[in-house]
């Protein structure tokens, strides 16, 4: 697709990078968002399932020029909505052939291909919107953050609760000291809801690859194995090779309020309190994980607890006394402080209320502070609009779940998955991405199949 420009000596990419300070840049804003004359050229990598809503949302901020999916039977909706977009099944081919024509792209593939696709795009100067969890490994999360900064691109992770006013108000309440000094965070989920241990514990038998599936591109950087419908679609989430299990899938939603509001960084200690039987193929049936975050200038040490799955039919949950009589919902979070508890019975932290401190009888009195964070409250679409605003202003910070926040957040959360595999507590040196426990250090990254390296 040829780019339209007002001044021939500039490319659209040059002007988008020039930022709001350039008078020329104003003419290159997404017209549906900003009412300007020129539009972003947008591509989608992974356009079935959640990827369908992601590319549709991105279609509101620009012209969709390319679509990539390993299975266009699942991506049929996007293909129908954007019939002029060129189609690919391998994102490497798409970016090689059309990278210079693409300003921004969404990445909504299985977890194990997020970083290979997103980093390849960012290195070509393409702004990236990537689904949660940001990456498959701890090392990849670090690289995503560094590559975004190095290439000066605007980014956003797709944890849509970040856009909600309630979540941002909860963050501001924690920052303002609504519950006093924060000492603990407890986050739980209704996941897993896909096949994994104990029902699935070994590789699946080979089946014929359907004509509509590019199996090589689905496997991507992972070790090649025969096709089976038990891997694709969606069921990949429970397999170590492709997904990040319940913690990767949902902590980037449900722990977002805690991570941002408590100003968490990287843990120095990670411990599996309890973990279901481990096998080489799938995530365990249940787990309770503890991450200890060191004290910083604005707060003391914080212990973060994650709960997932069921053991003998009983759901893993925080201690009952922390709920003060409230019936625990399927997913939610509790931030515990010296003056009270901030309780969110919500996947996204968008709804919350104050409870008494442990052992206390009265919830703390609190008056909402003046807003610190910009208000969005448009959910999933709002995340794309905010991303477009960041691109417009050449200011990555305008997208609240940019890869600086999302990279640090994902990096910390995925250490919990390492704890499940190691089976014992370990120290963690975030600066060096290593532990005195050699197994923990090894699980921070992975081997990549030839041709799919980062």
Here the tokens at position 106 are 């969404």
Say yes or no: 21 and 153 in one domain: yes
| pLDDT tens profile 420-444 | 999 999 999 999 999 999 999 999 9
Q: Is residue 353's pLDDT more than 50?
A: yes
Q: What is the mean pLDDT of residues 350-361?
A: 97
- 350 token code pair: 């968008």
- When pLDDT is cut at 50, 70 and 90, the band that residue 39 belongs to is confident
Residues 134 and 33 in one domain: yes
In this predicted model, what pLDDT tens digit does every residue of 188-204 receive, in sequence order?
999 999 999 999 999 99
Residue 330: inside a domain: yes
Q: What percent of the chain has pLDDT over 70?
A: 92
Say if residues 294 and 301 touch (Cβ distance below 8 Å).
yes
Residues 341 and 391 in one domain: no
Q: Tell me, what's the pLDDT at 25?
A: 29
Tokens standing for residue 415: 């250490």
CA 277 to chain centre: 27
Give the integer Cα–Cα distance in Å for 55 and 384: 10
Q: What share of the chain in percent tops pLDDT 90?
A: 91
| For residue 34, pLDDT beyond 70 | no
Is 451 part of any domain? no
The C-alpha angle 150, 155, 157, rounded to 5 degrees, equals 130
| Whether the predicted pLDDT of 310 surpasses 70 | yes
CB 354 within 8 A of CB 179: yes
pLDDT band at 38 (very low <50, low <70, confident <90, very high): low
Q: Which of 342, 318, 341 is nearest to 329 (CA)?
A: 318
Structure tokens at 228: 């089976």
Domain membership of residue 124 (yes or no) is yes
Do both 438 and 331 map to the same domain? Answer: yes
**Residues 110 and 152 reside in one and the same domain:** yes
Domains of the chain: total? 2
Residues 181 and 322 in one domain: yes
- Return the CATH number at 286: 3.30.360.10
In a domain, 250, yes or no: yes
Is the same domain home to 179 and 141?
no
Q: pLDDT tens-digit profile of 223-255?
A: 999 999 999 999 999 999 999 999 999 999 999
Assigned domain for 354 exists: yes
234 part of a folded domain: no
Residue 227 lies in a domain: no
Instruction: Give the pLDDT score at 33.
Output: 37
Candidates 265, 258, 311, 263; CA nearest to 284 is 311
What is 110-129 written as a DSSP string?
-GGGHHHHHHHHHTTT-EEE
The answer on 190 and 300 residing in a single domain is yes
* Residues 276 and 391 both lie in one domain: no
Q: Do 251 and 364 lie in a common domain?
A: yes
Task: Give the pLDDT band of residue 15 (cuts 50, 70, 90).
Answer: very low
Give the domain range for residue 102. 12-162+380-403
Indicate which CATH number applies to the domain containing 68: 3.40.50.720
Q: What is the chain's mean pLDDT, rounded?
A: 92
- Residue 292 and residue 183 share a domain: yes
Residue 73 maps to a domain = yes
Same domain, 267 and 397: no
């Amino acid at each position: 697709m040829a780019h339209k420009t007002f001044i021939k000596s500039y490319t659209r990419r040059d002007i988008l990078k020039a930022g709001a300070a350039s008078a020329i840049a104003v003419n290159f804003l997404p017209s549906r968002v900003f009412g300007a004359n020129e539009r972003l050229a947008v591509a989608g990598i992974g356009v079935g399932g959640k990827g369908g809503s992601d590319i549709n949302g991105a279609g509101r901020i620009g012209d969709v020029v390319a679509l990539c999916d390993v299975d266009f039977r699942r991506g049929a909706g996007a293909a129908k909505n954007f019939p002029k977009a060129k189609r690919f099944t391998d994102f490497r081919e798409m970016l090689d052939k059309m990278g210079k024509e693409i300003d921004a792209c969404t990445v909504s593939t299985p977890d194990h291909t997020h970083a290979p696709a997103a980093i390849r795009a960012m290195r070509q100067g393409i702004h990236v919107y990537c689904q949660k969890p940001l990456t498959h490994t701890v090392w990849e999360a670090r690289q995503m953050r560094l590559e975004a900064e190095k290439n000066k691109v605007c980014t956003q992770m797709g944890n849509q609760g970040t856009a909600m006013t309630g979540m941002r108000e909860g963050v501001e309440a924690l920052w303002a000291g609504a519950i006093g000094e924060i000492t603990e965070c407890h986050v739980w989920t209704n996941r897993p809801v896909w096949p994994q241990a104990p029902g699935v514990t070994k590789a699946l038998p080979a089946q014929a690859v359907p004509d509509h599936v590019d199996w090589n591109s689905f496997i991507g950087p992972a070790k090649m194995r025969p096709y089976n419908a038990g891997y694709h679609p969606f069921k990949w989430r429970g397999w170590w090779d492709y997904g990040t299990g319940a913690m990767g899938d949902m902590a980037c939603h449900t722990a977002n309020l805690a991570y941002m509001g408590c100003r968490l960084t990287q843990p120095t200690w990670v411990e599996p309190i309890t973990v279901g039987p481990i096998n080489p193929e799938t995530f365990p049936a249940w787990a309770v994980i503890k991450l200890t975050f060191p004290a910083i200038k604005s707060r003391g040490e914080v212990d973060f607890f994650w709960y997932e799955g069921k053991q003998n039919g009983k759901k893993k949950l925080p201690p009952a006394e922390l709920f003060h009589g409230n019936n625990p919902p399927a997913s939610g979070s509790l931030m515990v402080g010296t003056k009270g508890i901030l309780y969110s019975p919500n996947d996204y932290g968008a709804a919350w209320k104050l409870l008494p401190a442990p052992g206390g009888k009265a919830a703390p009195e609190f008056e909402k502070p003046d807003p610190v964070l910009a208000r969005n409250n448009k959910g999933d679409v709002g995340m794309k609009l905010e991303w477009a605003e960041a691109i417009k202003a050449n200011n990555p910070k305008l997208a609240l779940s940019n890869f600086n926040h999302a990279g640090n957040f994902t990096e910390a959360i995925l250490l919990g998955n390492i704890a499940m595999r190691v089976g014992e507590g370990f120290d963690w040196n975030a600066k060096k991405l290593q532990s005195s426990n050699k197994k923990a250090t090894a699980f921070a990254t992975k081997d990549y199949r030839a041709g799919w390296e980062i």
